[in-house]
């Protein structure tokens, strides 16, 4: 763990320049640091320069007629504390509270979680079912991309060189739910998680699995079978069973494949039930 230089640019342009000034991989981005500093400690990376985003004006949270734009360096604890969140995006509130512990969430950020793209990320499955878009800024300007395309695998995103995640945009409020299974109820990594949401505007369901390699995935076939705000129990059960056969459900040291398959069916049923219950009188 050799030392590194820390720079804290005040503008996007400065940040991009600081990243570009060194060969790829030698300059890395620091948001909350809860993943980055672990990577440094464990010897996974040895950057020469760390570019801190703390002076950039991205610790923002803006509701606009039901849509939500989250600045990428907003701490998760601040997102969690937003009074509108449990009502408008209940699944996201659950997902945020699932990340680590309260003190960790004081520094951990949405952007950092997204950029780390961990297969067991608690936020990414939820962002998928909320049709989140990620706003990126870099030397080539600004671009926007669905999270589903942005996240490609563990630690792999479509980030271009010297590009930064600036914000995450959630187009609308949705009845939604996030359920997970872990060995320990708090402060643990999920063995499996399921995010469910239904769009009030197009009426369709979204489902996603988390905790599976290489990345959380949407479940389009299952989604297609769920119709209406209150799908019949038989349909939900069928969908749940089918998800249990999904090829992404493999075994690792956290859970065997057999257990994950069993969990998938259970958690899909529960996530949908929870989202259905939240559909009642949804704003």
Establish if 184 lies at the interface with other proteins (CB under 8 A). yes
Chain positions 31 to 50 lying near other proteins, rule: CB under 8 A, are: 33-34, 37-38, 40-41, 50
Residue position matching structure tokens 């999904």: 246
Contacting range for other proteins; rule: CB under 8 A; set: 28-36, 56-64, 132-140, 203-211: 28-36
CA distance 178 to 197: 9
Sole binder of other proteins in the list 17, 266, 273, 279 (CB under 8 A): 266
Sole binder of other proteins in the list 59, 61, 63, 107 (CB under 8 A): 107
Beta bridge partner(s), residue 146: 133
Establish if 185 lies at the interface with other proteins (CB under 8 A). yes
Establish if 104 lies at the interface with other proteins (CB under 8 A). yes
Task: Write out the DSSP string of 36-72.
Answer: HHHHHHTTS---SEEEE-TTSS---EEEETTEEEEET
Burial 87-120 (b: 16+ CB within 10 A, else e): ebbbbbbbbbbbbbeeeebebbbbbbbbbbbbbb
Residue 77 or residue 174: which is nearer to other proteins going by CB? 77
Establish if 227 lies at the interface with other proteins (CB under 8 A). no
Burial class, 239, CB count within 10 angstroms (exposed 0-12 / middle 13-18 / buried 19+): buried
Establish if 238 lies at the interface with other proteins (CB under 8 A). no
CB of 172 to other proteins, least distance (A): 27
Interface residues with other proteins (CB under 8 A)? Answer: 1-8, 30, 33-34, 37-38, 40-41, 50, 52, 54, 77, 81, 97, 100-104, 106-107, 181, 183-189, 191, 253-256, 258-259, 262-263, 266-267
């Amino acid at each position: 763990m050799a030392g590194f230089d820390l720079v804290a640019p005040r503008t996007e342009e400065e940040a991009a320049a600081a990243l570009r000034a060194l060969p790829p991989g030698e300059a890395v981005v620091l948001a909350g640091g809860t993943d980055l500093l672990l990577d440094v400690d464990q010897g996974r990376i040895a950057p020469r320069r760390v570019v801190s985003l703390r002076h950039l004006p991205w610790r923002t949270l803006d509701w606009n007629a039901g849509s939500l734009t989250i600045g990428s360096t907003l701490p998760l604890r601040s997102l969690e504390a937003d009074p509108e969140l449990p009502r408008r995006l209940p699944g996201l509130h659950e997902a945020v509270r699932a990340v680590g512990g309260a003190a960790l969430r004081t520094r951990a950020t949405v952007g950092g979680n997204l950029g780390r793209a961990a297969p067991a990320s608690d936020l990414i499955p939820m962002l998928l079912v909320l049709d989140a878009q990620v706003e990126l800024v870099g030397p080539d300007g600004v671009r926007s991309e669905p999270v589903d395309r942005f996240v490609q695998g563990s630690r792999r995103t479509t980030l271009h060189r010297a590009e930064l995640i600036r914000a995450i945009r959630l187009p609308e409020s949705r009845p939604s739910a996030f359920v997970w299974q872990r060995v320990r109820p708090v402060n643990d990594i999920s063995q499996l998680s399921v995010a469910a949401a239904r769009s009030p505007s197009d009426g369709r369901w979204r489902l996603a699995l988390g905790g599976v390699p290489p990345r959380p995935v949407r479940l389009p076939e299952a989604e297609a079978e769920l119709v209406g705000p209150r799908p019949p129990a038989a349909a939900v059960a069928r969908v749940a069973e089918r998800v249990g056969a999904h090829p992404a459900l493999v075994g690792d040291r956290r859970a065997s494949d057999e257990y994950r398959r069993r969990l998938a069916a259970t958690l899909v049923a529960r996530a949908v039930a929870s989202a259905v219950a939240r559909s009642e009188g949804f704003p």
